[in-house]
Amino acid sequence: MEFIKTRFNYLFNSTKGLILVAIAMIAVVTAIWGMLSGPMAEMGVREVVIKLFGMDIVQAEREGRIIILYHSIAMAVVAIETYMITGLLKMKPFFKTSINVIITVGYLTTMIFGMSFAYFGHNWAFHGLYISGLSLIFFAGVLLCIALWPWNKEYYITDKDYSRTKSGLDLERTAFFATAVTTVISALFGAIPGAYFGNGFEVFLAENVIRLPEKTTMQYSIIGHLHIMLALIAIMITLIIGRWLNFKGILHKIAMPLMILGTIVLNLGVWGVVTPLEPIAHTIIYVGATPSMFAALLLLIWSWNKLIQDGTAHIQKPNFIQKLGALVRDPLKFGPTWQMLFMNFTTSGIGIFMAIRLDEIFRVWPAREERIELTGHWHALSAIIATIILMYYGDMLGLKGKVRQIYGWSIIFLSDLALGAVTVFEMKRLFISEAEQQPLVNLLMYMIDFGLGMLLVLLAIVMVWRLIDLFKPKGRWTEEMTHELSEEAAK
Amino acid sequence: MKHILNRTLTSADKRGNNFKNSTSIRVIPRPIFPVLLVALLLASCASVDLNAPMPIFDTGIDPNAWAQIPAGEFYLGQHEYIETTGAYEIMITDVTTKQYADFLNAALADGYVKVAERGEYIAGYYPGDPFHGIEHEIEIKAGDWVFILLNDPSQRVKFNGSSFTVQPGYENHPMTMVSWFGAWGYCEYYDYRLPSEKEWEKAARGPSTGSGSTRPFPWGDEIKRENANFYSSRDPFEDMKTFGSRTTPVGFYNGKTYDGYATLDSKSPYGLYDMAGNVWQWIGDVQPQEGFSDRFMRGGSKDTYDMDLRVWVRNSAPPMYYSPGVGFRCVR
């Protein structure tokens, strides 16, 4: 009994244990449900998985199933980010415990009962529990906003290295707060139309209505919701990585006000799609996205500069190669910001290119081609966020030496290979005709499958290692029980 | 390429060695992977044989036959709204290349179509769409529009300067590489028309009465590879290593066995074939929403996954779009 109690205590009462459970849950869902589509379906694996697990797949309910699947994974990611925030930022222990407990129950309920409802027959009690789980996560979000309240004098700072107002208001905390508050509000933009459409079982995927000129307010709300939630998850992970790396100095002072401004304006733009501001909503979104992305760029410049300075401190006049070596010496510290840069090729760049050349190029193609670009675009961003989380998690585990190098570089190489291929796949019509595309599609699919498949294998190895560790009386888990993320953030 | 690769490897080795000596850091990404990747990508862009040998089968289905669709209710869309249509007739298969070539020969003689741009394409008159100047709307003016391109390697209808013929083997395949104007022009020439979305979906799904009236596929609730021609459905016309999917003859999935390949009888309740898969089918609705200049396409194709073969799934494209995966059929 004591054996179970101590492990349970680690898994559900320590930040690192909670993160481990959430990553494991995502890994299991991704591994199983990833076999239901794409090349796995082509190879017949889909049918085997459906039979093996006794899934109940009704053709007319595909869109509903996918929405529940996306939410199940996304809620676990939101939980991970929340654990990181409660572990990194100062807050009252009551809030920390409450938030972690509520969001854990919330995402597990969402995932377990949501997926059971969607794929294993329609037990309506399960659907109710799925909605309850989402509601708990929303409530945890509200609590997080209260816990992060930056105008509490307790959290004022005096250190001039960090972005703050004259009175000492911590602008980094304010950026976390602004992101959390806007996330909670933006969740409503999905919840309200979700209830509306879900109630009549008239679910739809945004990519399937995007080209129709007349959309209802509820449809606009759904489209805005999915865009802003992913953007906010990306903004939050950028703030988390900044805190983990101990982002400070002049660039921090410039970045944090930009992050606050960008987040608020970006949200106002997205919320504007359901108001008479809709015709100029995209312009507001661009205005908001620019400072946010510029703030992320400042984090990148600062962190790369720090890695180079730390890595060449022992060399009097380091040359370019030595600087480059110092930059890439630690893939887990270099990787997150590299992935943010890489995101510009796979996500931001593609998005901006699509927006600029929409009528000349993309609307000349069939809607289905546009759907490929849209879905590829946000799958790539989601995957990049996941890799950044995995790199931070690798550092949390205290990976060292060769294992750290292999783990870090594998994540970077495999994900970039896959996402680079996804990007080429999305844009293939620019340079190859439908009739002649098959060999290129095959190669790209091999690259995507190899990259993502091996990434999942790597994740499985880590999970098996952690599982074995849990059976050891004095395993790594015993150390992780007491260490908090804020103590481990770079000094 | 070999020379470039060698040079890259050598310089990478040198950088790696210097690096190793000076900083004792061992991991540095070498450019061999990007070089290999670029080489593979370039190799995979090499042209494929679009005229590779192809089996020839007689399906026994008459493409000149029409199905009677009675007036009445049916379930429309994924969310199963009850809708009604009047009575009409619809072709039981897609228009074939042979039928289209015959049309072009007759229409050219009549002056209904003309050969334009020194034989590059066939054009015909279209009276234009209403234009509202709404964002993303394309203005479709009255005038001559391209029906089919002649110089595209995927075009199976050939023009020798005076008459149109079909590339041997493709006679009973659906007409593809035809714009919406080309499809509209064919139907118009014979006093037919393209089906509306409602008409198309009713013909695919059947009436609202009787069992299975909410079926997602024309033949029932589930799809198997032998039901239709879709992406990687492993039909005898497909080779995913080279040219990928190709069209199957119209009415191919009728329960017959072709050289050992057994198909399932996949006709719709009204006896239509290929209402799921093979080629997307142009829909006749013009400006179903104000400012929407695209035309809908229904039915999925040889290039799409099975989910796009569900009867309510829409695709759309501007009316000048053409593709090896888009065809049409007419109603009257």
- pLDDT tens per residue, range A269-296: 999 988 888 888 888 988 999 999 999 9
Contacts of B307 in chain A (CB under 8 A): 59, 62
The first and second tokens of residue A373, run together, are 């670009």
**Exposure b/e, A435-451, CB count within 10 A at least 16 = b:** bbbbbbbbbbbebbbeb
Distance CA B153, CA B151 (A): 6
Domain limits of chain B? Answer: 2-44, 66-327
CA of A204 vs chain B CAs: smallest distance (Å): 9
Q: Do B28 and A59 touch (CB under 8 A)?
A: no
The first and second tokens of residue A422, run together, are 């996804």
pLDDT at residue B17 is higher than 60: no
Residue pairs between chains A and B whose CB atoms are closer than 8 Å:
137
Residue A40 binned pLDDT confidence (cut-offs 50, 70, 90): confident
CA of B285 vs chain A CAs: smallest distance (Å): 14
Contacts with B305 (C-beta within 8 Å, 6 or more apart), sequence order = A37, A41, B230, B231
Q: Which residue of B11, B32, B42, B45 is the best one to mutate when testing the A interface, meaning the one whose CB has the most A CBs within 10 A?
A: B45
Residue B118 binned pLDDT confidence (cut-offs 50, 70, 90): confident
Nearest to A434 among B222, B314, B323 (CB): B323
pLDDT at residue B98 is higher than 90: yes
Local structure of residue B210 (DSSP, 8 states): S
Contacts of A321 in chain B (CB under 8 A): 15, 18-19, 22
Q: pLDDT, tens digit, for every residue of B154-171?
A: 999 999 999 999 999 999
Mean pLDDT along residues A365-377: 88
How many distinct helices (H) and strands (E) make up chain B?
5, 15
Question: What are the CA-CA distances from residue A204 to residues A63, B106, B150 (Å)?
Answer: 6, 45, 39
Contacts of B323 in chain A (CB under 8 A): 366, 434
**What pLDDT was estimated at residue A12?**
94
Crossing angle (nearest 10°) for helices A2-13 and A438-470:
130
CATH topology of domain B66-327: paralog of FGE (formylglycine-generating enzyme) (3.90.1580)
pLDDT at residue A470 is higher than 90: yes
Is A33 within 8 Å of A52 (Cβ atoms)? no
pLDDT at residue B236 is higher than 90: yes
Q: Do A364 and B321 touch (CB under 8 A)?
A: yes
How many other CB atoms are found less than 10 A from the CB of residue A136? Answer: 21
Q: Do A213 and B242 touch (CB under 8 A)?
A: no
Task: Decide which of A141 and A353 is more confident.
Answer: A141
End-to-end CA distance of chain A: 40
**What pLDDT was estimated at residue B20?**
34
Contacts with A242 (C-beta within 8 Å, 6 or more apart), sequence order = A172, A252, A255, A299
Is A174 within 8 Å of A117 (Cβ atoms)? no
CA of A42 vs chain B CAs: smallest distance (Å): 6
CA of B69 vs chain A CAs: smallest distance (Å): 24
Question: Phi and psi for A232 in degrees, rounded to 5?
Answer: -70, -35
Q: Closest by alpha carbon to A59, among B80, B317, B326, B255?
A: B80
Nearest to A213 among B217, B289, B325 (CB): B289
Q: Which residue of A has its CA nearest to B234?
A: A42
Neighbouring-strand partners of residue B142: none
CA of B153 vs chain A CAs: smallest distance (Å): 9
End-to-end CA distance of chain B: 60
Nearest to B48 among A358, A368, A438 (CB): A438
Nearest to B25 among A325, A363, A432 (CB): A325
| Ranges A236-245, A288-297, A356-365: which has the least confidence | A356-365
Local structure of residue A267 (DSSP, 8 states): H
ipTM of the complex: 0.89
Crossing angle (nearest 10°) for helices A320-328 and B2-23:
80
How many other CB atoms are found less than 10 A from the CB of residue B58? Answer: 10
Q: pLDDT, tens digit, for every residue of A289-316?
A: 999 999 999 999 999 999 999 999 999 9
**What pLDDT was estimated at residue B33?**
62
Is B128 within 8 Å of B143 (Cβ atoms)? yes
pLDDT at residue B45 is higher than 70: no
Residue A207 binned pLDDT confidence (cut-offs 50, 70, 90): confident
Q: Do B79 and A431 touch (CB under 8 A)?
A: no
Distance CA B133, CA B126 (A): 19
**What pLDDT was estimated at residue A338?**
96
pLDDT at residue A213 is higher than 90: no
CA of B91 vs chain A CAs: smallest distance (Å): 25
Neighbouring-strand partners of residue B295: B317
**What pLDDT was estimated at residue A370?**
87
Q: Do B137 and A213 touch (CB under 8 A)?
A: yes
Average confidence score pLDDT of chain A:
92
Question: What are the CA-CA distances from residue A461 to residues A212, A475, B200 (Å)?
Answer: 45, 17, 51
Q: Do A328 and B221 touch (CB under 8 A)?
A: no
Q: pLDDT, tens digit, for every residue of A414-455?
A: 999 999 999 999 888 888 888 899 999 999 999 999 999 999
Contacts of B80 in chain A (CB under 8 A): 60
pLDDT at residue A171 is higher than 70: yes
How many other CB atoms are found less than 10 A from the CB of residue A185? Answer: 14
Mean pLDDT along residues A390-411: 94
Contacts of A442 in chain B (CB under 8 A): 44, 240-241
Contacts of A62 in chain B (CB under 8 A): 307
Local structure of residue A58 (DSSP, 8 states): -
Q: Which residue of B has its CA nearest to A437?
A: B45
B88: three-class secondary structure by DSSP: strand
Q: Do A434 and B48 touch (CB under 8 A)?
A: no
Distance CA B152, CA B147 (A): 13
Residue B9 binned pLDDT confidence (cut-offs 50, 70, 90): very low
Pairing outcome for strands B88-91 and B66-69? antiparallel
Task: Decide which of B104 and B7 is more confident.
Answer: B104
Is B174 within 8 Å of B279 (Cβ atoms)? yes
Nearest to B28 among A325, A366, A368 (CB): A325
pLDDT at residue A349 is higher than 90: no
Distance CA A124, CA A130 (A): 10
Domain limits of chain A? Answer: 347-460
Distance CA A455, CA B268 (A): 44
Task: Decide which of A183 and A398 is more confident.
Answer: A183
